[in-house]
Chain A
């Protein structure tokens, strides 16, 4: 049953998939074949087909993270043919469709690689380092209940829009995966600049950037060398400008904060 395009021909594909039973085990690439893949399928639906095949033949299905399949939750995280989230720009794995591939293609599928993102199993990695960075300061310290009226602080639309753009980061980790240095700067900078741009974030501005950068380093992410792969692969288009803002915020905080530690 074809969908939007009645003329689309089903495809047969070869998949080279990274298989690794658990964090400690050594992994390897295993070759699989899938048949009759509709071009209207999403990439993950194609993997569903593979997994159903594997289950039917008593083999362990390929583990991978996914959830909303709408490109917003940030769960899916596949390195496809040497690119974070595959070949299409501005697209998460779940929104990549098989019409971007051709019959007979060989597709290599790997997990994100970074020492801060250890592999749980197969294509699923542990991204809790991102959570710990946010816990180090990616918030405004307001308790529930004490907030002033929402219209008390007018915020210029332009500033609000820029903060929003930074805030759209989905925390998928494609930036780290694509970066030669496995740097988390784009992720960290998105949160730092969102809160640095907004008046609400101003109170904790200095401690926030100091603590978040310290945590980022502690997690073992690499340093940014302004290569730009991160922004090029970011599925939601977080801009490199945020990294400059982060650098600026960090420098200003270190130079002027009262923190001697």
Chain B
């Protein structure tokens, strides 16, 4: 084995890969989230569909996409490799009585379970949107607008899905898992890279908590919003729209 493979397959090396891919995936989450916020624009999906078209066709984005595939791939592979190693290290005879809840956070001990939930979601999610967008199966937007009529109407697919109760449930559950996963993962990534300093570590920790809450809450808000507040076309239900509008108006 060369020094590189030796380094990367050592216990710390594997953790460094986990950390680098994890933090990279965090940046992906930000981009993905910002893009998805277009869903909330009440323009019948125009902005969202333009955005998704750009993401699906731009060569730079398509190249980075491979990075993303590798990022996910390694993050998941290393997670399995580390879990196996760590289970072996613990040994066959476990503790009869173990109160680890008294010395550590639940999330920190259950990154594997949280990650697995996210993985299941990811597969469903990829099939549902990515696969159909990339390899066909989505209707065109249609209409008279020259710029938009040939775009895939991913918006409608999203709104459709967000009216399926079990999908919304899976989506929200996955976002809760993601939140807990990030709660530990964000600061853990820095620690693994050795970025621990008594001045900055507290900051990293709280930024990580904020990141976890904001990102997962924002993602979860989308299916909930469409399921609860809109009709099949993504328009606000009148019964709900009025009081909300009223509330917003009176708030100002």
Assembled-state Cα–Cα distance A79/B13 (Å): 30
Assembled-state Cα–Cα distance A82/B101 (Å): 10
Q: Does B233 lie at the interface of the complex (its beta carbon under 8 Å from any beta carbon of A)?
A: no
Q: Does A12 lie at the interface of the complex (its beta carbon under 8 Å from any beta carbon of B)?
A: no
- Known contacts A113-B91, A115-B91, A178-B100; decide if A240 and B10 are in contact (CB<8 Å): no
Contacting residues, chain B, for A27 (C-beta < 8 A): 93
A181 and B96 form a contact (CB under 8 A): no
- Known contacts A181-B89, A183-B86, A248-B194; decide if A222 and B11 are in contact (CB<8 Å): yes
Q: Contact residue range for chain B?
A: 35 or more
Q: Which residues of A (152-183) have their CB < 8 Å from a CB of B?
A: 178, 180-183
Contacting residues, chain B, for A110 (C-beta < 8 A): 95-97
Closest to A233 in B: B103
Number of residues of chain A lying within 8 A (CB) of chain B: 51
Contacting residues, chain B, for A240 (C-beta < 8 A): 191, 196
B108 and A83 form a contact (CB under 8 A): no
How would you classify the secondary structure of chain B's contact residues: helix, strand, loop or mixed? helix
1/0 contact trace for B189-212 toward A, CB 8 Å? Answer: 001111110100100000000000
Assembled-state Cα–Cα distance A241/B190 (Å): 11
A251 and B16 form a contact (CB under 8 A): yes
B11 and A244 form a contact (CB under 8 A): no
A250 and B89 form a contact (CB under 8 A): no
Contacting residues, chain A, for B21 (C-beta < 8 A): none
Q: Does B111 lie at the interface of the complex (its beta carbon under 8 Å from any beta carbon of A)?
A: yes
Assembled-state Cα–Cα distance A229/B95 (Å): 15
The number of A-B residue pairs with CB atoms under 8 Å apart is 153
B95 and A113 form a contact (CB under 8 A): yes
- Known contacts A82-B100, A247-B192; decide if A225 and B108 are in contact (CB<8 Å): yes
Q: Does A18 lie at the interface of the complex (its beta carbon under 8 Å from any beta carbon of B)?
A: yes
B3 and A261 form a contact (CB under 8 A): yes
B15 and A228 form a contact (CB under 8 A): no
Q: Does A246 lie at the interface of the complex (its beta carbon under 8 Å from any beta carbon of B)?
A: yes
Closest chain A CB from B200 CB (angstroms) = 11
Q: Which residues of A (13-34) have their CB < 8 Å from a CB of B?
A: 16, 18, 27, 29
A226 and B192 form a contact (CB under 8 A): yes
Q: Does A260 lie at the interface of the complex (its beta carbon under 8 Å from any beta carbon of B)?
A: yes
B104 and A229 form a contact (CB under 8 A): yes
Contacting residues, chain B, for A115 (C-beta < 8 A): 88-92
Assembled-state Cα–Cα distance A183/B90 (Å): 9
Assembled-state Cα–Cα distance A169/B216 (Å): 40
Q: Does A227 lie at the interface of the complex (its beta carbon under 8 Å from any beta carbon of B)?
A: yes
Closest chain A CB from B96 CB (angstroms) = 6
1/0 contact trace for A72-115 toward B, CB 8 Å? Answer: 00000001011100010000000000000000000010100111
Partner pick for B96 among A108, A114, A221, CB 8 A cutoff:
A108
B100 and A229 form a contact (CB under 8 A): yes
Give me the interface of A with B, judged by CB distance under 8 Å.
16, 18, 27, 29, 79, 81-83, 87, 108, 110, 113-116, 178, 180-183, 213-214, 216-217, 220-229, 232-233, 240-241, 243-251, 254, 259-261
19 extra interchain contacts, Cβ-Cβ under 8 A, other than A248-B195, A251-B194, A260-B2?
A: A81-B99, A82-B95, A82-B98, A82-B99, A82-B102, A113-B94, A115-B92, A178-B100, A221-B11, A224-B12, A226-B187, A226-B191, A229-B100, A240-B196, A241-B201, A243-B196, A246-B194, A247-B12, A251-B12
Nearest 5 Cβ contacts at the A-B interface: A248-B194, A244-B196, A82-B99, A222-B89, A181-B86
Give me the interface of B with A, judged by CB distance under 8 Å.
2-3, 6-7, 10-16, 82, 85-86, 88-100, 102-105, 108-109, 111, 184, 187-188, 191-196, 198, 201
22 contacts between A and B (CB under 8 A): A82-B98, A83-B102, A217-B10, A221-B89, A222-B11, A222-B88, A223-B12, A224-B15, A225-B111, A226-B108, A226-B188, A226-B191, A227-B105, A227-B108, A228-B105, A229-B104, A229-B109, A241-B201, A244-B191, A247-B15, A254-B7, A261-B3
